Chain A
Amino acid sequence: MSLSVLMPVFALMTSLLASVVLFALPEKGYRLRTTINLVAAVVKIALVAVMIWGIARGREYEAAFTMLPGVEFVLRADALSMLFAGLSALLWLLTTIYAVGYLEDSPNRSRFFGFFSLCVASTMGIALAGNLFTFFLFYEMLTLSTYPLVVHRGTRKALRAGRNYIIYTLTGGAVLLLAIAWLHGLVGDLRFQEGGHFAGVDPSLQAPLTIIFVLLMTGLGVKAALVPLHGWLPQAMVAPAPVSALLHAVAVVKAGAFGIIRVVFEVYGLEAAEAMGLLAGLALVAAFTIIYGSTRALYQIDLKRRLAFSTISQVSYIVLGLCLFGPLGVMGGLVHLVHQGIMKITLFFCAGNYAETLGVHRIDELDGAGKRMPGTSVAFTLGAFGMIGAPPLAGFITKWTMGAGALEVGMDWVVAVLVVSSLLNAAYFLPILHRLWFAEQQQAWPHERRWGRLETSPWLLWPPLVTAVLLVLAGILANVPFSPLSWAELIVLREVAL
């Protein structure tokens, strides 16, 4: 067992073990639970950091064993997995901190944090999966571990949302399974491989491969919330804020998007997928999703619902980026995986803060909140501007790179989509900002809690501030080594032989 085998296993195990321990903890063990949570999160970040360092220097990490006849379980860390793993490891720490504060006095904390860790373990597994089979394994595990989080509150609404969530995701999972099994039957156990497998594939396989691709995208599209498979996402916002943050930024939608990346890059291969004419359709779906999500977001009154529709729109940027079939476009898509995560988590943290501190859920109740909670509101503002794509924030980098990528390959209409979407983003975010900062408070806060001198509990305040700083840094320092953009560039250089 060399270290290169053990590293991915360790990275997976940190949260898996944490989850097991957390389940076993008594409800009252507040300090111990928090300690375990934080230690595990920090250890995971350290492990991922080491792997990132190693991969940048050309090392490889892989662990595999045979699970079923002809099917391997593969954990493998490459540049692409690190993009996702790094994001989730980092945000796990922040979300954990946030969740500790958010759930301070609520029941079922053992259960919550147990599943929470399980969820992150699944995410890590998805990131590190070395073939479709392993990917699917963790993909479904993620579905299951998030369900208890979605229905955590146990209200009728939460249960309904949970039911919808599970219907959508499990159906998607079934379709995905069908596709994976079919693919496996057709060509055997395929590891993810740089450049994909199907360059110059036998023409007789084209037709089934095309159908499989559609099935794969359908299955993954449910989690990635591609229209018309997005129905669960807005409903799932009834979950507690840290869960929404997790769903939208770290785990679920990202898992879908990441899966699409894997399939397009490392199973089919960008070139082969393009040659089979698969990307054009996907691009159209993604573009439609972007516009549709933004448009729907305009009409939402509930803050978290608006954010949810915004997610639908934003995640499709990632998909759209891939379809641009050029180094820059792909880079834009990849980097948005990270950027969207940081931005959206900031927004959800803030939305959670408003709800938890002021009892505010609706946008029209936010008047004057900037004065009451300046820190949160600054973070929210930065997040919102990031989403709009205002420079120099993270979102701008994405849009710029993707726009350049689109032009590079002559898909100019994508620029139009980006522009329209940005306009819509501005249309639904800027009014919120106006209310935050410039409107006078109209009525007493629905349900205010006070924390002495601070605007809210420090557990709740710091995570959004940190992510806000991150999203600024991700934009400003985009060209620095190990920034998301640079890492995406590394991936593109290594993986996409264009």
Chain B
Amino acid sequence: MTLWLMAGLLFTPLAWAVLTLLVDFRMGRAVTWLGILVQVLVSLGLWAAVASDGGFYYLLGGWQAPLGIELRVDGLAVTFVLLTALVAAACGWHASVYLDPGKSWHRYFWPLFWFLWAGLNVVWLGGDLFNLYVGLELISLAAVGLVALGGQAAALRAAIRYLMAALLGSLAYLLGVALIYGQFGTLSLADVTALLSDGTVAAGQTFPLVLMLFGLALKTALFPMHGWLPPAHGIAKSPVSALLSALVVKASFYIAARLWLDLGGHLGGYELAQLIGVLGGLAVIWGSWLAFRQTKLKQVVAYSSVAQIGYLFLLFPLTWGVTDAISLQAQQGITLQVISHALAKAAMFLAAGNLIMSVGSNRVDALAGVSRFLPFSLFSFGLAGVSLMGLPPTGGFAAKWLLLQASLASGQWWWLGVLLAGGLLSAAYVFRVYQASFIDNTDTDHFFHPPKSLEVIPLILALLSLGLGLVAEPVLSVMALPFEGSSR
């Protein structure tokens, strides 16, 4: 059963990418709906299977690592697969209403969308360092294509900038992979970890790890390498922005996190961990501050991503040289942060798109009166904002809580300031938007009212993000599931 599910999972996005490439926008839309249905069902099935039976390794082509490529299907991976399915489904559904079928280039949205999805699944499940590289490239190029889709100069500039950063990042990562392979002779992450753990290779080199982390951090837009992100995420179509912010940056972070958790203990060091943590902290502060200063709505949201990504990098200091319990707490916190940010940020971008569509301008101060005439769209935006602020009972809060606990328990109290100040700063930019929308300077409803389906989607995502905090315990328990015995 799980084998079938796996095949479905790997096959569907790629197949639908091809299918939608061959048809026009409207047809592609219909096809996509079907594909989304299939993919969501498959993801759910896989998640349920892993939740009940535990994780396993999936051998592609029937070849074991290190010769072949193994997929690592554990609780965390399937959780992210499911998350991807949900968010991508929402974005795809939104795009199918949001995008104008009359523009010929919009038909290419669907194949790129599906390739992106496929790439994400590759990354979540990947256990092979080079395979991850290919997955990353798949994601990057699809994402760049989506950003540039039919765009004008500004969009192209953003896309090129994005592409350049992504390429440099990939290359740094690949160089690291090359060195790792040179040293260990294998590309399987599990093998490398095993070799390090059982002392076969006593003195691992730190530099490859640093290279890979650098590349991945660049792709994740860690401060101060975040410059490419806001233009790209800000200028893309809202469903695209949502995908990029919610999922794409998480992919590179996910790899970095897995590398760190597997290799960091042997190849990393306290200074490296702290340095990354400090950069993350600065990202939180600086990103929030810049978000607060933006005049365009989507730029606010985009800079907010920079800040929220900063939290993720607290994983590094909080898992280095601490007890397993604290490390687990930090991992759980970061996982929740990834999920809740994905849901919330997708909701926020989609809601922002709706708002922009309604008011006919992308400026924050054009939102006056929205609260009165378009409360529904604003509500989703607001709910998502609550999660970003880390206020209870959202997933963002649950994440923050766990990180606070981990910081306190590990004695690294300096992260407390980041966590708390970050929450307040994000409140600052979120409330700036609210505030603008609460200005009551018009008595006439001159706004365009988007279709209900557009408005419902971000609301659902926002509610999921909100509810995540309440059901954090069961979700986390699936993530922490061990592999079923030693299946390999």
Give 1 or 0 for each of B47-64: 1 = CB within 8 Å of chain A CB.
000000000000000000
Q: Looking across the interface, which residue of chain A has its beta carbon closest to that of B427? A: A170
Q: A170-B427, A185-B408 are in contact. Are A68 and B402 (CB under 8 A)?
A: yes
Interface status of A206 (Cβ within 8 A of chain B): no
Q: Are B372 and A108 touching (Cβ within 8 A)?
A: yes
Distance from B325 Cβ to chain A, minimum over Cβ atoms (Å): 10
CB-defined contacts of A277 to chain B, threshold 8 Å: none
Q: Are A185 and B439 touching (Cβ within 8 A)?
A: no
Interface status of A173 (Cβ within 8 A of chain B): yes
Q: Are A185 and B435 touching (Cβ within 8 A)?
A: no
Interface-facing stretch out of B29-37, B223-231, B274-282, B465-473? B465-473
Q: Are A154 and B371 touching (Cβ within 8 A)?
A: yes
Residues of chain B at interface, number, CB under 8 A: 39
Q: Are A177 and B420 touching (Cβ within 8 A)?
A: yes
- Cross-interface CB contact of B438 among A23, A140, A143, A148, cutoff 8 Å: A148
Interface status of A2 (Cβ within 8 A of chain B): no
Q: Are A181 and B405 touching (Cβ within 8 A)?
A: yes
Q: Are A140 and B391 touching (Cβ within 8 A)?
A: yes
CB-defined contacts of B375 to chain A, threshold 8 Å: 23, 108, 110-111
Q: A136-B392, A140-B391, A141-B393 are in contact. Are A69 and B423 (CB under 8 A)?
A: no
Interface status of B332 (Cβ within 8 A of chain A): yes
Q: Looking across the interface, which residue of chain A has its beta carbon closest to that of B440? A: A154
Interface status of A67 (Cβ within 8 A of chain B): yes
Q: Are B391 and A144 touching (Cβ within 8 A)?
A: yes
- Cross-interface CB contact of B371 among A108, A137, A181, A182, cutoff 8 Å: A108
Q: A107-B372, A144-B386 are in contact. Are A69 and B392 (CB under 8 A)?
A: no
- Cross-interface CB contact of A154 among B409, B427, B438, cutoff 8 Å: B438
Interface status of B73 (Cβ within 8 A of chain A): no
Bound together, the chains give a CA A155 to CA B371 distance in angstroms of 13
- Cross-interface CB contact of A67 among B329, B424, B472, cutoff 8 Å: B472
- Cross-interface CB contact of A184 among B389, B405, B427, B473, cutoff 8 Å: B405
Interface status of B398 (Cβ within 8 A of chain A): yes
Q: Are B409 and A185 touching (Cβ within 8 A)?
A: yes
Interface status of A296 (Cβ within 8 A of chain B): no
Q: Looking across the interface, which residue of chain B has its beta carbon closest to that of A73? A: B470
Q: Looking across the interface, which residue of chain A has its beta carbon closest to that of B405? A: A185
CB-defined contacts of B386 to chain A, threshold 8 Å: 144
Q: Looking across the interface, which residue of chain A has its beta carbon closest to that of B437? A: A154
- Cross-interface CB contact of B473 among A68, A111, A137, A143, cutoff 8 Å: A68
Q: A67-B470, A137-B392, A154-B371 are in contact. Are A181 and B404 (CB under 8 A)?
A: yes
CB-defined contacts of B392 to chain A, threshold 8 Å: 136-138, 140-141
Distance from A431 Cβ to chain B, minimum over Cβ atoms (Å): 35
Bound together, the chains give a CA A280 to CA B440 distance in angstroms of 47
Distance from B304 Cβ to chain A, minimum over Cβ atoms (Å): 16
- Cross-interface CB contact of A177 among B332, B404, B472, cutoff 8 Å: B404
CB-defined contacts of A371 to chain B, threshold 8 Å: none
Give 1 or 0 for each of A131-150: 1 = CB within 8 Å of chain B CB.
00100111011011001100
Q: Looking across the interface, which residue of chain B has its beta carbon closest to that of A107? A: B372
Interface status of B6 (Cβ within 8 A of chain A): no
Interface-facing stretch out of A7-15, A159-167, A237-245, A324-332? A159-167
CB-defined contacts of A174 to chain B, threshold 8 Å: 420-421, 423-424
Interface status of B19 (Cβ within 8 A of chain A): no
Give 1 or 0 for each of B384-406: 1 = CB within 8 Å of chain A CB.
00100101110001101110110
Distance from B239 Cβ to chain A, minimum over Cβ atoms (Å): 25
Bound together, the chains give a CA A14 to CA B220 distance in angstroms of 44
CB-defined contacts of B439 to chain A, threshold 8 Å: 154, 156, 159
CB-defined contacts of A71 to chain B, threshold 8 Å: 401
CB-defined contacts of B431 to chain A, threshold 8 Å: 147, 163, 166
CB-defined contacts of A170 to chain B, threshold 8 Å: 389, 423-424, 427
Distance from A488 Cβ to chain B, minimum over Cβ atoms (Å): 29
- Which of A66, A175, A178 counts the most B-chain CB atoms under 10 A from its CB? A178
Distance from A254 Cβ to chain B, minimum over Cβ atoms (Å): 19
Q: Looking across the interface, which residue of chain A has its beta carbon closest to that of B369? A: A154
CB-defined contacts of A67 to chain B, threshold 8 Å: 393, 398, 469-470, 472-473
Bound together, the chains give a CA A71 to CA B397 distance in angstroms of 13
Interface status of A171 (Cβ within 8 A of chain B): yes
Q: Are A68 and B476 touching (Cβ within 8 A)?
A: yes
Bound together, the chains give a CA A174 to CA B372 distance in angstroms of 30
Interface status of A151 (Cβ within 8 A of chain B): yes
CB-defined contacts of B400 to chain A, threshold 8 Å: 177
- Which of B389, B435, B443, B470 counts the most A-chain CB atoms under 10 A from its CB? B435
Q: A67-B470, A69-B329, A159-B439 are in contact. Are A166 and B408 (CB under 8 A)?
A: no
Interface status of A153 (Cβ within 8 A of chain B): yes
Give 1 or 0 for each of A181-201: 1 = CB within 8 Å of chain B CB.
110110000000000000000
Within 8 A of B (CB), among A28-58: none
Bound together, the chains give a CA A173 to CA B397 distance in angstroms of 12
CB-defined contacts of B416 to chain A, threshold 8 Å: 178
Q: Looking across the interface, which residue of chain A has its beta carbon closest to that of B389? A: A170
Q: Looking across the interface, which residue of chain B has its beta carbon closest to that of A169? A: B427
Bound together, the chains give a CA A177 to CA B469 distance in angstroms of 15
Q: Are B401 and A68 touching (Cβ within 8 A)?
A: yes
Bound together, the chains give a CA A156 to CA B365 distance in angstroms of 13
Bound together, the chains give a CA A483 to CA B94 distance in angstroms of 56
Give 1 or 0 for each of B424-441: 1 = CB within 8 Å of chain A CB.
100100010011001111
List, sorted by A's number, 17 A–B pairs whose CB atoms are closer than 8 Å: A67-B393, A111-B375, A137-B392, A137-B393, A141-B393, A143-B391, A148-B371, A154-B438, A154-B441, A162-B438, A166-B427, A170-B424, A170-B427, A177-B401, A177-B423, A178-B416, A181-B408
The 10 tightest CB contacts between A and B, nearest first, are A154-B440, A137-B392, A181-B404, A185-B408, A174-B420, A140-B391, A151-B438, A66-B473, A170-B427, A68-B472
Question: Given A174-B424, A181-B408, list of 4 further CB < 8 A pairs?
Answer: A68-B476, A140-B392, A144-B386, A151-B434
List residues of chain A with CB under 8 Å of any chain B CB: 23, 66-69, 71, 73, 107-108, 110-111, 133, 136-138, 140-141, 143-144, 147-148, 151, 153-156, 158-159, 162-163, 166, 170-171, 173-175, 177-178, 181-182, 184-185
